[in-house]
């Protein structure tokens, strides 16, 4: 029932999928989930060598590496899949979407919880890196190639290196099911716009004071060059 639900969820959310059977037979992301469910079962039975063997075989077959101890919720959509790494103590909620080359990793050799916890309906775009034992809140979106190193509140959008929250609660944030990695604000461009507006205000103030930017930049004629 669990794997069938995963396959149906992928078929509903991927516009390229024509039916559930196609997902079951041809989607490497779904195959990675199958290998993980089996490996996780043996992990819980304390047969860790067998669990890791299945995990590594699944990595070889699909290009997706999920540690057997990782906790994966229902309805995970792994799109394309190649290069995805999910660490040992990572947790992924329900109905999440993860694109290729994403990493849910740790930041060092600490013991215990050292990988992130991903909430429900989270979109992790291609190349994103989420590193550390913190939580990414429900309905959040992580932009392509973002590097997230601290906790993310629910309904947030994070982009950049290091990752910065550019949208928070109170604003419309679509859940991961819309698969939109493009329409995200650019904080660098926004900062340039603010700087340009500030420069314009300063220039207007100088003009009102009878000083133009060109004359203000010239040194005094009587001053000797050093």
Q: Is there a contact between 166 and 157 (Cβ–Cβ < 8 Å)?
A: yes
Please choose, from the candidates 149, 159, 152, the residue with its C-alpha nearest in 3D space to the C-alpha of residue 126.
159
pLDDT in tens, 35-78: 999 999 999 999 999 999 999 999 999 999 999 999 999 889 99
| Range scoring the smallest mean pLDDT among 28-32, 106-110, 215-219 | 215-219
Which percentage of the chain shows pLDDT scores above 70? Answer: 81
Max CA-CA distance within the chain? 87
How far is Cα 32 from Cα 39, in angstroms, rounded to an integer?
Answer: 10
Query: pTM above the 0.85 mark?
Result: no
CB atoms within 10 A of CB 174: 15
How far is Cα 132 from Cα 151, in angstroms, rounded to an integer?
Answer: 9
Angle at 144 between CA 174 and CA 111, to 5 degrees: 100
């Amino acid at each position: 029932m669990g794997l069938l639900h995963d396959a149906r969820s992928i078929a509903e959310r991927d516009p390229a999928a024509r039916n559930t059977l196609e997902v079951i037979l041809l989607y490497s992301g779904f195959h990675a989930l199958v290998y993980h469910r089996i490996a996780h079962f043996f992990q819980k039975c304390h047969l860790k060598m067998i669990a890791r063997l299945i995990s590594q075989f699944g990595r070889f077959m699909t290009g997706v590496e999920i540690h057997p101890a990782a906790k994966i919720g229902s309805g995970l959509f792994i799109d394309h899949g190649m290069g995805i790494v999910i660490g040992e103590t990572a947790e992924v909620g329900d109905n999440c979407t993860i694109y290729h080359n994403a990493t849910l990793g740790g930041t060092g050799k600490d013991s215990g919880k050292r990988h992130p916890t991903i909430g429900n309906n989270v979109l992790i775009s291609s190349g994103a890196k989420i590193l550390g034992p913190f939580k990414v809140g429900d309905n959040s979106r992580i932009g392509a190639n973002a590097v997230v190193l601290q906790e993310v509140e629910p309904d947030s959008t994070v982009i950049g290196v290091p990752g910065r929250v550019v949208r928070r609660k109170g604003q419309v944030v679509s859940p991961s099911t819309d698969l939109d990695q493009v329409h995200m604000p650019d904080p660098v461009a926004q900062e340039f716009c603010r700087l340009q507006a500030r420069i314009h205000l300063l220039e207007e103030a100088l003009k009102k004071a009878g000083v133009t930017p060109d004359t203000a930049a010239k040194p005094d004629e009587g001053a000797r060059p050093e």
